Structure 1
Amino acid sequence: MSRKVIYPAAPPVTVLLDLADNAAILRAALAAHAPSAGRITVHPTPAASDTTLALDILAALGKPTELPGTGGSIGPPAWILAADWILSLPDVRLTVLRAHLLDEASWSHLLTLRMRTGMHLVAVCHTRRPPAVMRTALRPLKHHTVSTDHGLGDLLAPAPTAPAPPSRAAEGRWITVPALAYLASHHTFPRCSCTPPPAPHPYVPERAYSIDQIAHRLATRTAYPQLAGALATAVFTGAPIAQLHTIRTGHLDSDAATLTLHDPRRTRRPGFTADCGIYTVPTWARPFLLAAANLVHLSPRGDDRLFTTGTPRALPYLTDFAEHCRLRPPQPAPPWPRPRTRRKKRAGAPEVQWYDGISSSRFEYISYEEWLHTAASAPPPRRRAP
């Protein structure tokens, strides 16, 4: 089971009264925004519904808000997705600006989100006293009111320095990931209940993939933790889609430090572990797996599979999501000798070819052990001066 899925105790709600609507308070609240450190500031859309507020929270978390259906009606609800991602962060403090404009439904869902995640909720009101809707919602809860005239303490303290996101040019580049070579393989993986030993191969060295860019793409290009968690698992284990679908929540430990994969048939994949094993989850992948486990517990659907939704066609196929993240396996070698033609190359992204376990001769073979040795001994990439 994932940690913090049994509703944790939340600190009292803080109501911050800013009668003068001071611009400095707004700038301080926005400057304190740092999702990776658990500091989230939401500026709600004016006159919006409760569903729009959930999308605003997802946007503040850095997630896209284009969900299937109306407000995510086809897949998991937006409020559940927000709770999943917040549960994967440490000690979350959610600051909601202009909270005096929220309606009754928005307050109901917001306080339910607080109960599920144990986060510290700070509601900023630009009125002399909280409105009646807000007072009614907070009446059964522990809360206290502070005023900007008496100091803010550490409520709006500056956020810690976060690593700069990759440039737009870097986000658009394709990253070839050898671990995805067997992602679309047609092998089957029957269910297994053994207790396997530790996997002989460690996860791929972080310097090999420009892993900071991969983690940034997984975190910002989908709101669904099943997609991000499944692709992250494929990156550090080399598991195909069929094997990812056999992973249960019990295969992930409480802190997402280890993950158990089963392969009782010992599928032949050159260079990868072809047996049951326990993998060490790298630090960058743990939030994705924690969020996927949280989703299973917060929205029961009859099974405990980690990377499925239970709703047909609710999510795109994993290879399509990998292409959306500009991640691809090693591609077939170009024909040699190259045909002479005067035709110009077609504009647009090249078509990505996925190895299906049949046409192996068409793909370049890369020794996984040799590639690991080269990646581990390679110097770290140079960073441009700001």
Structure 2
Amino acid sequence: MIAAGYGDVTVVVDEADDLFYTQAALAAHCPGEGRITVHPTPASGHPAALAHDMLYALGKRLAPGPHSPDVWLDSVSAAWRAAAAWAQATAVRHVLVSRVHLLTPRRIDQLLAWRTTAGVQLTLLWQAAARKLPPALVEVERRLSGEGRFEALLADPGPIPARPSFPPGAPIQSVPGAGTVAGGPRWSSAWPVHGPGPASLGPGRQAAACTGVVGARLVHAVPAVGVDALSTTVLSALGHPLIAGALSVLAFARVGLGSLRWTRDLDITGDVSVIKVHGIAHRSCVLYAVPDWARPLLAAARVHHRLGSHRTGEGVFAPVLRAEARHLRTHAARLPRLGLAVLVDSLVP
């Protein structure tokens, strides 16, 4: 075995196709520690196949079928952008890809470009002769050898923190009027967030200038509505960051789409513990505590928004409420326990 690295890209050349390296790479898959292993789908001619494999390794499951609500992921750029958003939001720091010698030069170029966007350490297992390396991988020339070196590479903490920066929040004061889902408790995991600003915002109170959450002192946020574990699992497995984020807010806040449409990047606290949802003409803008399960989903939606070069004052969910409205509606219908289809019924089919 020979390993060659350039920056945060390492190519492991295993001409003998030793089973040790494949097994070690698969065993290293641990999203909770910021490391995932991608095993490319063999002989797939789909343009976005490798991006789909990346999403699968990130724990996302795409709805099948010719009329799938995830058909938007057939777009190569959309699929890779979604994968980058999820990787950043969940603090993935090291990505291993096996069987890279079976990938086309075009897909290898996509993978290298995605690494730059996602900001991860990338290790590629080239299980063929070194002389067959494509030009993009020939440029990596730092060489290592031996099973011990490969194991040490897997133990490297990587370029970014190993765990998402979502520390558990302290319970906050319950606010009268917060509803519940049938069979679900009323609860919250967020703590009050303090920042500059002359006024205190309570639930249901109007914000004078309707600034973001950073520009005000947050006293109380409406506790999140309880959502059952099965529904949170389904929501967390959605591939589209905006759909996952939007449906999670509808689930724990039970607000209408009119409120969600104007939620901006600056309406979400840095630790994603509180979100501000706007009323019509910015009357009765409400602060909601974000439950732990929804924080990575909202973080991914915000990253997806920023990767699109949007300004912080633009609506985070506005694109999915327009161009992808039918997909949001279909996914909502797949969660009957939450009754979200009623909340998105105003969307066009």
**Same fold by TM (over 0.5)?**
yes
Matched, 1:72 2:69: no
In 2: Cα distance, 1:279 partner to 1:59 partner: 30
After TM superposition, give the deviation of residue 109 of structure 1 in Å: 1.0
Where does residue 219 of structure 1 map in the other structure? 236
Q: CA RMSD in A?
A: 3.8
Q: Percent identity?
A: 28
In 1: Cα distance, 2:295 partner to 2:267 partner: 14
Summarize the alignment of residues 282-361 of structure 1 with structure 2, pairs less than 5 Å apart: 282-300=291-309, 304-309=314-319, 312-316=322-326, 318=328, 320-329=330-339
| 8 A Cα contact 1:16 1:148, kept in partner | no
In 2: Cα distance, 1:282 partner to 1:70 partner: 28
Residues 240-290 of structure 1, C-alpha deviation per residue, up to 9 Å, x if partnerless? 2110111011212333233222336798xxxxxxx3344333332121111
After TM superposition, give the deviation of residue 18 of structure 1 in Å: 2.4
More displaced stretch, 280-289 vs 59-68: 59-68
Matched, 1:237 2:257: no
Gaps of 5+ in 1: 1-9, 161-173, 180-188, 268-274, 331-351, 357-386
Matched, 1:108 2:109: yes
Q: Residue 74 of structure 2 aligns to a residue in which SS?
A: coil
The alpha-carbon distance between structure 1 residues 118 and 329, as it changes in their structure 2 partners (threshold 3 A), is same
Choose from 232, 245, 252 the match for 2:268: 252
Gaps of 5+ in 2: 1-5, 64-68, 156-161, 163-180, 187-205
| 8 A Cα contact 1:38 1:91, kept in partner | yes
Where does residue 82 of structure 2 map in the other structure? 81
Q: Residue 57 of structure 1 aligns to a residue in which SS?
A: helix
In 1: Cα distance, 2:249 partner to 2:92 partner: 25
The alpha-carbon distance between structure 1 residues 191 and 295, as it changes in their structure 2 partners (threshold 3 A), is farther
After TM superposition, give the deviation of residue 197 of structure 1 in Å: 5.0
Matched, 1:126 2:131: no
Q: Report which of the two structures shows the higher radius of gyration computed on alpha carbons.
A: 1
Residues 72-100 of structure 1, C-alpha deviation per residue, up to 9 Å, x if partnerless? 33x96111111111111224211100112
After TM superposition, give the deviation of residue 106 of structure 1 in Å: 0.8
Matched, 1:16 2:18: no
Residues 322-349 of structure 1, C-alpha deviation per residue, up to 9 Å, x if partnerless? 331343249xxxxxxxxxxxxxxxxxxx
Q: Residue 10 of structure 2 aligns to a residue in which SS?
A: strand
In 1: Cα distance, 2:307 partner to 2:29 partner: 26
Larger RCO (CA within 8 A; separation ≥ 6): 1
The alpha-carbon distance between structure 1 residues 52 and 192, as it changes in their structure 2 partners (threshold 3 A), is farther
After TM superposition, give the deviation of residue 310 of structure 1 in Å: 6.2
After TM superposition, give the deviation of residue 318 of structure 1 in Å: 4.5
Choose from 138, 144, 147 the match for 1:146: 144
Choose from 276, 290, 299 the match for 1:281: 290
| 8 A Cα contact 1:191 1:262, kept in partner | no
Matched, 1:137 2:136: yes
Q: Read off the aligned partner of 2:49 and give its amino acid letter.
A: T
After TM superposition, give the deviation of residue 57 of structure 1 in Å: 0.9
Where does residue 53 of structure 2 map in the other structure? 56
The alpha-carbon distance between structure 1 residues 178 and 13, as it changes in their structure 2 partners (threshold 3 A), is same
| 8 A Cα contact 1:11 1:119, kept in partner | no
Q: Read off the aligned partner of 1:112 and give its amino acid letter.
A: A
The alpha-carbon distance between structure 1 residues 175 and 27, as it changes in their structure 2 partners (threshold 3 A), is farther
Q: Read off the aligned partner of 1:123 and give its amino acid letter.
A: L
Q: Whose helix proportion is higher, 1 or 2?
A: 2
| 8 A Cα contact 1:14 1:146, kept in partner | no
